[in-house]
Structure 1
Amino acid sequence: MKIIFNNYKISLLDKNDGVLFFNLIDSNRQRLEDFFAGTVSETETLNDTLDYCAEIQNRIKAKSYFPYMITDSHTNKFIGLVDVKNIDWNVPKAELGSFIDSRYEGKGIVTKATSLVIDYIVEENRFIKLLCRANKRNKGSIAVIIKNGFELEGTIRRDYKTTKGEIVDLNYYGRVFD
């Protein structure tokens, strides 16, 4: 699967993308620590990241995780991610997460990429519900979530542990499909 829009492309993380993935995470590590704690902890070094990418390939094959990378077509560097996780095939439903490199923030890229990934995964996997979780102080993510048609369903108190060990509340946003 490859989706192209403007000067960007979206595709699943490939087994050979470890260096690109590490560079994206490493250059945004500080701002990702709080809300991409798992990814940050799995990618501390390039070797850790290569191992993690191999593990991700197994998760893709098992249809339990789909990391869609956003690539700048001019530089061929990863600039963001829209991931599909916590998949429940019995419903079927999944959770989305996303982030964009700090140098590309505020341009609507991750909002558009999220919209395109939603269209693709709903068609491809017949998901009837998608959800997103965000801390109230993560204003950028909340804007992306709302612009993509998700509605606040509630706040789950003390629901997530950040990299620094802080336990925080998360707002849950949902979107249903026919």
Structure 2
Amino acid sequence: MKFKNFTIRLLQPNEGKAFFNLIENNRSRLEDFFAGTVSKTKTLEDTLLYCVEIQKKIKDFSYLPYMITDINTGEFIGLVDVKNINKDLPKAELGSFIDHRYEGKGVVTDATKLVVNHIVEEYKFIKLLCRANARNKGSIAVILKNGFELEGTIRRDYKTTKGEVVDLNYYGRVFN
């Protein structure tokens, strides 16, 4: 998938170093709400092992990490991931982040729109969910711009890497 000066595609087996660089350059921003990814990518070696695990999850259709790449630099600059996939319903949860250098430019909003359209068409999802802490104004803006609606707040639903237990807003979008 392409838009503006960016491409979006699933993480490939040989892209562990690029994935590590994206996480490393944004680690402090991601620690609290991408805790699993951050904890599995502390070193390049850890990241390469994690990427092997990711490839198995892609094959099993349990996790789909769509990487956003800047065409001009060839660098990964963000991620829209599809997780907690329930094949029976079918539904899934989306998460996303963007490199700090691209924040506020609409890139992750546009990328999320393309990923949503792709996975609904390709995999026939009838519901997608997003979770965000009320303090995360950027993520909430992306979620709302992509047609998701607030379904409710789950209190004390997530533990950050710093040990803080926080409430999460749940947003949903249904499809025919």
Q: Which residue of 2 aligns with 1:18?
A: 16
Aligned CA RMSD, in angstroms, stands at: 0.4
- Length-normalised TM-score, structure 2: 0.99
What SS does structure 1 have at the residue aligned with 2:104? coil
List, as ranges, runs of 4+ consecutive aligned residues in structure 1 with deviation greater than 2 Å: none
Q: Which residue of 2 aligns with 1:123?
A: 121
What SS does structure 1 have at the residue aligned with 2:122? helix
Q: Write the deviation string for residues 91-137 of structure 1: whole angstroms up to 9, x where unpaired.
A: 00000000000000011000000000000000000000000000000
Q: Unmatched 5+ residue regions in structure 2?
A: none
What SS does structure 1 have at the residue aligned with 2:7? strand
Q: How many angstroms apart in 2 are the aligned matches of 1:108 and 1:137? A: 19
Q: Write the deviation string for residues 11-38 of structure 1: whole angstroms up to 9, x where unpaired.
A: 0000101000000000000000111000
Q: CA deviation at 1:81?
A: 0.1
Q: Unmatched 5+ residue regions in structure 1?
A: none
Q: How many angstroms apart in 2 are the aligned matches of 1:5 and 1:170? A: 31
Q: Which residue of 2 aligns with 1:52?
A: 50
Q: Which structure 2 residues correspond to residues 95-134 of structure 1 after superposition, within 5 A?
A: 95-134=93-132
What SS does structure 1 have at the residue aligned with 2:78? strand
Q: How many angstroms apart in 2 are the aligned matches of 1:67 and 1:155? A: 26
The sequence identity of aligned pairs, in percent, is 74
Question: Which of 65, 87, 90 is the matching residue for 2:63?
Answer: 65
Q: CA deviation at 1:165?
A: 1.2
Q: How many angstroms apart in 2 are the aligned matches of 1:165 and 1:54? A: 28
Q: How many angstroms apart in 2 are the aligned matches of 1:66 and 1:165? A: 27
Q: Which residue of 2 aligns with 1:163?
A: 161
Q: How many angstroms apart in 2 are the aligned matches of 1:123 and 1:5? A: 18
What SS does structure 2 have at the residue aligned with 1:84? strand
